[in-house]
C-alpha cells in the first residue's frame, strides 16, 4: 500500500529528526550557543539544506510554503526543547487560516476533515502525487473505504467516473449535500448525462419514476451493479416491481403487465429475454407513445404506412404486410391471399397489429389475443381464434366466423378487391 511505504518514509524522517536533534543538542551544549534559547526557526540555517530535512527538497509535489522553505509559517519551536518544532496551531485551523471558506457554511464535513486532520490526505512537506496527496486520489479514498473497493472489484458493471475519480461526484472536504455529493442528487446525474436530461425535459411522454421519489436511484446504482446499465436489479424484475398492479391515475389505467405475464404462458421473444427496453427504449421519457422508441400506432385503426410500424419491423419483415399475394411471406393467408395485407394495409381503417396480437403475452399461439380492448367503455372485443394445422379461423365482432387455409384456400373470404401496382409480388 502506498500509505505504508509513505509510513516507512516517515519512520526514516523521524529517525533522521531524532539523530539530528541529538547532534544539535551536543553541538549547542558544547558551544553554549546563542541559539540555545528562544531560537526561532528563521534563525536556523536552512531546514532543507543542512542534512536534516533535505529529502523534502527532492519531493515532486510540495506545498508552496514548503517549496519556499517558509517552515515557520506553520511551525514553532516548543519552549525549552531544543529543535522540537510543533505546528503553530491544531488542524484544521492551521490550514483554514489561509484556506478560508473551504469549510465555512458547509453542513456536512467529511469524516477525516471533521476529525481535524488535513494531513491524513495531504502531506504538505511533499509527495509524488498532485496537491500533495499521499496517494493517487481514487486509491486514497479506497484506502479508507475498503469495503467499497471490495464491492467495486467484484461487480461486473462499474460506472466509468467511479473508476476514474471519486471527486467527480463527491466533495472530499465538505458539502451541503448528503453523502458529500458535489451537487444535489437529482442534479448530479444530469450534470453529465445531458441526453437523458433532454429526454426528461423535452419529451411529450414522461415516465413517472424518473422524476419522483428517489428519481434516478429508483432504477440505478451510482457506483456499480451486478446488472447491466447499473440497474438495481435485472431489467424485467425492475419493471415488474412497479408494473405488477394496474396503475391508476385520473385519466387512465396502465395495464398490469406482471399479472398478464403470469397468467399467459406464451411470452413474446424479447419479453422472454427480459428485454423490455427492446421496445420501451425511451425509458426516461420521450416522444414515443408508451415510451416506445420506434413508431407504433396508438389507435385500433389507422391508414397504412410502413413507417408507422417501425417498431415491429425492427425485428420482423415488413413484406408480411406490404405484399398482397404470397405463398411464403406469411402464414396468415388463404391460399396466396395475404390476410395481413387484407386487414392491415388499407387506406382507411386498417387494423393495427394490436387488433389480433398482444405484444407482451397471450395464451394462444402466435401471440394472438383472446380479446382486444375496443373503444373507451372498457369493453373487450372477443376474437375467438382457432388455429389449425394449415390455417385457422376467427369470429370477432367484425364478421362471422371466417376460416383461412394455406393449402386449400377457402372461399368464404372476400378476394382482394384491387391489388395496387407493385404490391403483387413474390409468387
Q: Does 296 bind ligand HEC (CB under 6 A)?
A: yes
Q: Which of residues 2-21 bind ligand HEC (CB under 6 A)?
A: 10, 13, 17
Residues in contact with ligand HEC, counted by CB under 6 A, come to a total of 150
**From the CB of 373, what's the least distance to ligand HEC, in Å?**
8
SS3 category, 248: strand
Taking residue 104's Cβ as centre, other Cβ atoms within 10 Å add up to 8
Q: Pick the closer one to ligand HEC by CB: 80 or 104.
A: 104
Residue from 203, 200, 239 nearest 219 by CA: 239
C-alpha cell at 130: 498532485
Q: Which of residues 208-237 bind ligand HEC (CB under 6 A)?
A: 208-210, 215-220, 222-223, 228-231, 235-236
79-93 burial string, b = 16+ CB within 10 Å, else e?
A: eeebbebeeeeeebe
Which member of 198, 290, 403, 423 binds ligand HEC (CB under 6 A)? 290
Cis check for the bond before 92: say yes or no (omega within 30 of 0): yes
Which of 112, 203, 335, 382 binds ligand HEC (CB under 6 A)? It is 112
Residues 393-422 that bind ligand HEC (CB under 6 A): none
Distances (CA, A) of 200 to 193, 197, 207, 235, 341: 11, 5, 8, 20, 38
- Binder to ligand HEC among 323, 356, 413, 416 (CB under 6 A)? 356
331 binds ligand HEC per the rule CB under 6 A: yes
Site for ligand HEC in 248-287 (CB under 6 A): 249, 254-255, 257, 268-271, 276-281, 283-284
Q: Residue 269 has which C-alpha cell?
A: 421473444
| 3-class SS of residue 122 | strand
The least CB distance from residue 152 to ligand HEC, in Å, is 6
Question: What is the spatial distance between Cα 315 and Cα 76, in angstroms, rounded to a whole number?
Answer: 77
What is the nearest approach in angstroms of ligand HEC to the Cβ of residue 427? 17
Q: Are 155 and 164 in contact (CB under 8 A)?
A: no
* Cα–Cα distance, 395 to 404 (Å, whole number): 12
Asked if 83 touches ligand HEC (CB under 6 A), the answer is no
Among 77, 83, 122, 323, interactor with ligand HEC by CB under 6 A: 122
- What DSSP designation does 416 have? P
Burial degree of 328 (CB within 10 A; 0-12, 13-18, 19+): exposed
Our finding on whether 346 is near ligand HEC (CB under 6 A) is: no
Residues 10-69 that bind ligand HEC (CB under 6 A): 10, 13, 17, 47-48, 53, 56, 61, 63-66, 69
Residue of the chain from 24, 83, 239, 337 that contacts ligand HEC (CB under 6 A):
239
Question: Which residues within the stretch 371-390 sit at the binding site for ligand HEC (CB under 6 A)?
Answer: 387
Interactions with ligand HEC, residue window 154-213 (CB under 6 A): 157, 159-162, 166-170, 172-173, 179-181, 185, 188-193, 195-196, 205, 207-210
Provide the residue count of the chain. Answer: 427
120 is an interface residue for ligand HEC by CB under 6 A: yes
Q: What is the DSSP letter of 104?
A: T
Amino acid at each position: 500500500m502506498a500509505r505504508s511505504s509513505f509510513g516507512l518514509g516517515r519512520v526514516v524522517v523521524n529517525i533522521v529528526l531524532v539523530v539530528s536533534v541529538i547532534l544539535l543538542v551536543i553541538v549547542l551544549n558544547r558551544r553554549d550557543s546563542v541559539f540555545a534559547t528562544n531560537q526561532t526557526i528563521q534563525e536556523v540555517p536552512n531546514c532543507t539544506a543542512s542534512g536534516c530535512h533535505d529529502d523534502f527538497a527532492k519531493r515532486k509535489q510540495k506545498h508552496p510554503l514548503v517549496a519556499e522553505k517558509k517552515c515557520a509559517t506553520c511551525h514553532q519551536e516548543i519552549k525549552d526543547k531544543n529543535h522540537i518544532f510543533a505546528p503553530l496551531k491544531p488542524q484544521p485551523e492551521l490550514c483554514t487560516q489561509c484556506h478560508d471558506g473551504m469549510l465555512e457554511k458547509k453542513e456536512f464535513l467529511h469524516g477525516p476533515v471533521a476529525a481535524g486532520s488535513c494531513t491524513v490526505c495531504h502531506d504538505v512537506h511533499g509527495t509524488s502525487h498532485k496537491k500533495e496527496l499521499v496517494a493517487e486520489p481514487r486509491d486514497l479514498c479506497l484506502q479508507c473505504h475498503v469495503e467499497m473497493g471490495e464491492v467495486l472489484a467484484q461487480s461486473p458493471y462499474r460506472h466509468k467516473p467511479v473508476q476514474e475519480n471519486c471527486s467527480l461526484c463527491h466533495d472530499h472536504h465538505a458539502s451541503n449535500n448528503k453523502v458529500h455529493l458535489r451537487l444535489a442528487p437529482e442534479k448530479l446525474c444530469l450534470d453529465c448525462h445531458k441526453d437523458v436530461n433532454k429526454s426528461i425535459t423535452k419529451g411529450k411522454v414522461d415516465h413517472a419514476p424518473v422524476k419522483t421519489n428517489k428519481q434516478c436511484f429508483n432504477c440505478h446504482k451510482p457506483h456499480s451493479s451486478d446488472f447491466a446499465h447499473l440497474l438495481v436489479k435485472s431489467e424485467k424484475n425492475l419493471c415488474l416491481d412497479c408494473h405488477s398492479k394496474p396503475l391508476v391515475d385520473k385519466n387512465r389505467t396502465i395495464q398490469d403487465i406482471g399479472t398478464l405475464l403470469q397468467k399467459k404462458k406464451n411470452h413474446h421473444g424479447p419479453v422472454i429475454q427480459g428485454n423490455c427496453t427492446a421496445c420501451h427504449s425511451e425509458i426516461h421519457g420521450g416522444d414515443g407513445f408508451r415510451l416506445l422508441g420506434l413508431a407504433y400506432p396508438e389507435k385500433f385503426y389507422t391508414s397504412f404506412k410502413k413507417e408507422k410500424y417501425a417498431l415491429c419491423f425492427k425485428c420482423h419483415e415488413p413484406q408480411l404486410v406490404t405484399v398482397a399475394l404470397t405463398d411464403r411471406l406469411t402464414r396468415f393467408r388463404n391460399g396466396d391471399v395475404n390476410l395481413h395485407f387484407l386487414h392491415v394495409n388499407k387506406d382507411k381503417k386498417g387494423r393495427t397489429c394490436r387488433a389480433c396480437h398482444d405484444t407482451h403475452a397471450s395464451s394462444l399461439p402466435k401471440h394472438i389475443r383472446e380479446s382486444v380492448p375496443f373503444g373507451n367503455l372498457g369493453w373487450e372485443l372477443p376474437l375467438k381464434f382457432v388455429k389449425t394445422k394449415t390455417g385457422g379461423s376467427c369470429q370477432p365482432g367484425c364478421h362471422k366466423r371466417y376460416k383461412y387455409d394455406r393449402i386449400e384456400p377457402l372461399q368464404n373470404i372476400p378476394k382482394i378487391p384491387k391489388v395496387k401496382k407493385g404490391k403483387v409480388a413474390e409468387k
